[in-house]
């Protein structure tokens, strides 16, 4: 069976506040079509298809997802991705994310388009990671944006945060908060909190001890019961939790 290969790479330490990872996905020439689902991870990506068959690179922007995204690749495709942490893309590339949630945009920020034209050859070379690091390091904001403080607080609490608590801590009103989140992340604060909660539960589920009931696990992540957790997984992945953990069965009860 011919499958794609996938690898992740850490960016420069000074970029890790803004970028989760660089990644590469390559499909062998002999493959026809490789299909899979991409699940929400609270991030936005710029994806460059280096297209080994034609030698022509093409870039797209994938906004913050609130459900799974069916994806397919063809034989010979070679993807190079930059996975930005929440608000990272806006802060490094000066591009608002309003209206980009759950869609693939075939246009990337002008700043990045210029970079891609100038450095396409370097991105095909062994120094591609240094090339990306150099570009993004030159665009780091002088001051830490308040949105990053809010995102950090929500992430640390696994999304179990009330909007009123965020506005109180940031000393802004809810309307201003909504604008900030839509501009920098592409979704509302409430939606972002739900995504963070799901992603935390999704990441932890594979390591759930067999001795821990699914109900106890659901409670740990702010879900009311098994059904609430299962409904979230089906919403965000299209599948039940049992498919992501050997310690969970479809008939799991308290």
Give the pLDDT score at 3: 62
Mean per-residue pLDDT over the chain, rounded:
90
Percent of the chain whose predicted confidence (pLDDT) is above 70: 93
Same domain, 173 and 228: yes
Whether 170 maps to a domain, the answer reads yes
Same domain, 178 and 117: no
Q: pLDDT tens across 76-121, in order? A: 888 999 999 999 999 999 889 999 999 998 878 788 888 888 888 8
Whether 64 maps to a domain, the answer reads yes
Instruction: Identify the CATH number of the domain in which residue 132 sits.
Output: 2.60.120
Please identify which residue in the block is written with the tokens 């594979």. 206
| Structural domain boundaries enclosing 14 | 5-137
Q: Measuring CA to CA, how many Å separate 67 from each of 199, 233, 235? A: 12, 9, 6
Indicate yes or no: pTM above 0.85.
yes
Q: Which of 80, 112, 137 is the last residue of a domain?
A: 137
Whether 56 maps to a domain, the answer reads yes
Whether 251 maps to a domain, the answer reads no
Same domain, 86 and 14: yes
Q: pLDDT tens across 197-223, in order? A: 999 999 999 888 888 888 999 999 999
Same domain, 77 and 106: yes
Same domain, 32 and 153: no
Whether 36 maps to a domain, the answer reads yes
Higher pLDDT: 85 or 143? It is 85
Give the pLDDT score at 57: 62
Whether 254 maps to a domain, the answer reads no
Same domain, 186 and 121: no
Same domain, 88 and 167: no
Same domain, 130 and 153: no
Q: Number of folded domains in the chain?
A: 2
Percent of the chain whose predicted confidence (pLDDT) is above 90: 66
């Amino acid at each position: 069976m011919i499958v794609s290969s996938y690898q992740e790479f850490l960016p420069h330490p000074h970029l890790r506040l803004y970028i989760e990872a660089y990644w590469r996905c390559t499909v062998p020439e002999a493959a026809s079509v490789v299909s899979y689902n991409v699940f929400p991870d609270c991030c936005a990506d710029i994806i460059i298809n280096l297209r080994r068959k034609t030698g022509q690179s093409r870039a797209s922007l994938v906004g913050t997802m609130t459900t799974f995204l069916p994806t397919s690749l063809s034989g010979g495709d070679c993807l190079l991705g930059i996975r930005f942490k929440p608000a990272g893309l806006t802060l490094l590339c000066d591009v608002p994310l309003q209206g980009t949630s759950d869609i693939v945009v075939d246009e990337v920020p002008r700043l990045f388009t210029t970079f891609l034209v100038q450095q396409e050859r370097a991105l095909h070379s062994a120094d591609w990671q240094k090339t990306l690091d150099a570009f993004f390091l030159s665009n780091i904001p002088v001051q830490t944006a308040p949105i990053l403080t809010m995102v950090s607080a929500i992430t640390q609490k696994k999304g179990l945060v009330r909007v009123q608590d965020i506005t109180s801590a940031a000393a802004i009103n809810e309307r201003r908060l909504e604008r900030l989140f839509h501009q920098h992340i592409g979704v509302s604060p409430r939606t972002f909190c739900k995504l963070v909660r799901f992603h935390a539960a999704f990441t932890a589920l594979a390591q759930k001890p067999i001795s821990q009931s699914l109900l106890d696990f659901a409670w740990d992540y702010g879900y009311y019961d098994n059904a609430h957790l299962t409904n979230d997984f089906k919403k965000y992945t299209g599948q039940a939790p049992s498919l992501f953990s050997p310690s969970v069965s479809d008939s799991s009860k308290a």
